């Protein structure tokens, strides 16, 4: 395998560039895509890099087609992926649902923009519900919400591996700010960090005679009997729950003895951590909890943090009108801590906003 990065090196890139390099480092074979801001440059950089490394690209007629061509390519054993945003994410829910139903190792990058509809081309965290629970299924998906360019690179590599290991559709959930801003990061060969890249494998057209050499490979997205579908959904759910703990990731900051805990995800968690530093310096005991996987959600970990802290209040803050809040409330059902909110749909949140809010509620 041709080395893509070579020696580990520092770089100062946009997030979309970091992701394109991450896809190469993850040994992705082919991107299918349809242009939409703020994801476009992933396609641009991929098409620029692809010929140098023997990779492929196809621009399809729309996002529905981009998603389904990924579904097809994956079944033939190609490590394919796509990237989209906003209304494109809406259109892609149909192929995402197929990937969920057929347990395809589908990896997609979502760069959230403002909504509903075309909304803005800029930024939001309004694609949380759609990415975690979109489609006509049960949300058997894995969603990484990143906060830094380092994470965009790291979780692109990890995301492919997660998809091919567990065979649940896996998403890197970024946003327009992360897509477009420049920030330093370190790029490395996965092998240098002890990361084994999972090789793709065909799901169809396998060697050997069915019945004598191997079991039939029965990939279906439709069933004629209610009971058949019921069994499949329950099996998928059991599989999902059996690997939930090993996939779940989170981070916490100054939660011990915290009296108020801020819950946020993605790029907003950077502001939350800065707010905690300022508040602590002023004698206000604040802490920050950040789910890195929104699906599966770090439920037990959050409950443990609440337990060990001295929390009297929670503040949930996001660049959406309660999409993270709904998940948190569901996941920690039974807790009686008062929950305050700072919702700024489609708008960036900075430490100042959070500091002012905390001071108004304590």
- Interface residues toward another protein, by CB under 8 A: 12, 37-38, 120-122, 176-178, 180-184, 267-268, 270-271, 273-274, 348-352
Least separation in angstroms between residue 265's CB and another protein is 14
Token couple for 284: 């206000």
Q: Minimum CB separation from another protein for residue 123, in Å?
A: 9
Residues 6+ apart with CB under 8 A from 57: 30, 31, 32, 33, 43, 46, 47, 50
Cβ proximity to another protein, 40 vs 162, nearer residue: 40
Residue 111 contacts residue 16 (beta carbons within 8 Å): yes
For another protein, give the closer residue by CB, 30 or 354. 354
Minimum CB–partner distance for residue 181 and another protein (Å): 4
CA-nearest of 135, 143, 113, 141 to 126 is 113
Q: Min. distance of Cβ 344 from another protein in angstroms?
A: 12
Contact assessment for residue 127 and residue 96, using Cβ atoms and an 8 Å cutoff? no
Residue 273 near residue 265 (C-beta atoms within 8 A): no
Q: How many C-beta atoms lie closer than 10 Å to residue 345's C-beta?
A: 17
Nearer to another protein, 29 or 273 (CB): 273
Q: How far is the CB of 25 from another protein (least distance, A)?
A: 21
Q: What are phi and psi of 352, to 5 degrees?
A: -55, -45
The smaller minimum CB distance to another protein, of residues 94 and 351, is found at 351
Q: What is the DSSP string of 285-322?
A: -EEEEEESEEES--HHHHHHHHHHS--SEEEEEESSSS
> Can you tell me the distance from the alpha carbon of 174 to that of 48, in angstroms, rounded to the nearest whole number?
22
Measured from the CB of residue 183, what is the shortest distance to another protein in angstroms? 5
In whole angstroms, how close is the CB of 177 to another protein at the nearest point? 5
Pick between residue 133 and residue 177 the one whose CB is nearest to another protein: 177
Concatenated DSSP letters for 61-109? SSHHHHHHHHHHHHHTT--EEEEE-HHHHHHTHHHHHHHHHHT---EEE
Taking the CA atoms of residue 292, residue 142, residue 238 and residue 333 in that order, the dihedral angle to the nearest 10 degrees is 40
Q: Would you say 32 or 177 has its CB closer to another protein?
A: 177
**Phi, psi angles (nearest 5°) of residue 301:** -65, -40
Q: Minimum Å distance from CB 220 to another protein?
A: 43
Closest CA relative to residue 137, chosen from 61, 24, 221: 221
Q: If you search the block for the tokens 């919400």, which residue do you land on?
A: 145
Please, which residue, 26 or 268, has the CB nearer to another protein? Answer: 268
Residue 176 or 291 having the CB closest to another protein: 176
């Amino acid at each position: 395998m041709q080395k893509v990065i070579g020696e580990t090196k520092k770089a100062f890139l946009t997030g979309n560039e970091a992701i394109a390099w991450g896809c190469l480092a993850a040994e992705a074979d082919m991107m299918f895509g349809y242009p939409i801001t703020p994801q476009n440059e992933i396609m641009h950089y991929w098409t620029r890099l692809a010929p140098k490394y023997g990779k492929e690209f196809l621009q399809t007629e729309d996002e529905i087609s981009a998603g389904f061509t990924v579904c097809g390519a994956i079944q033939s054993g190609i490590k394919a992926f796509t990237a989209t945003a906003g209304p494109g994410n809406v259109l892609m829910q149909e192929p995402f649902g197929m990937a969920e139903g057929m347990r395809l190792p589908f990896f997609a990058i979502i760069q959230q923009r403002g909504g509903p509809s075309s909304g803005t081309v800029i930024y939001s965290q309004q694609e949380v519900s759609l990415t975690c629970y979109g489609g006509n299924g049960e949300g058997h998906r894995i969603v990484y919400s990143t906060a830094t360019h380092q994470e965009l690179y790291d979780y692109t590599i990890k995301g492919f591996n997660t998809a091919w290991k567990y065979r649940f559709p896996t998403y890197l959930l970024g946003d327009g700010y992360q897509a477009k801003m420049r920030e330093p990061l370190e790029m490395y060969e996965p092998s240098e960090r002890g990361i084994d890249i999972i090789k793709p494998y065909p799901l169809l057209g396998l060697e050997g005679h069915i019945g004598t050499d191997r079991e039939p490979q029965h990939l279906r997205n439709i069933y004629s009997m209610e009971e058949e579908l019921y069994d499949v959904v329950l099996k998928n759910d059991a599989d999902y729950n059996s690997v939930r703990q090993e996939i779940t990731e989170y981070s916490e900051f100054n939660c011990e003895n915290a009296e108020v805990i801020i819950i946020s995800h993605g790029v907003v968690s950077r502001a939350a951590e800065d707010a905690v530093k300022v508040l602590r310096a002023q004698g206000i005991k604040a802490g920050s909890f950040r789910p890195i996987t929104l699906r599966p959600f770090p439920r037990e970990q959050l409950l443990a943090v609440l337990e060990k802290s001295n929390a009297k209040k929670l503040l949930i803050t996001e660049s959406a009108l309660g999409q993270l809040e709904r998940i948190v409330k569901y996941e920690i059902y039974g807790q009686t801590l008062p929950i305050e909110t700072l919702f700024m749909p489609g708008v960036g949140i900075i430490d100042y906003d959070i500091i002012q809010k905390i001071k108004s509620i304590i």
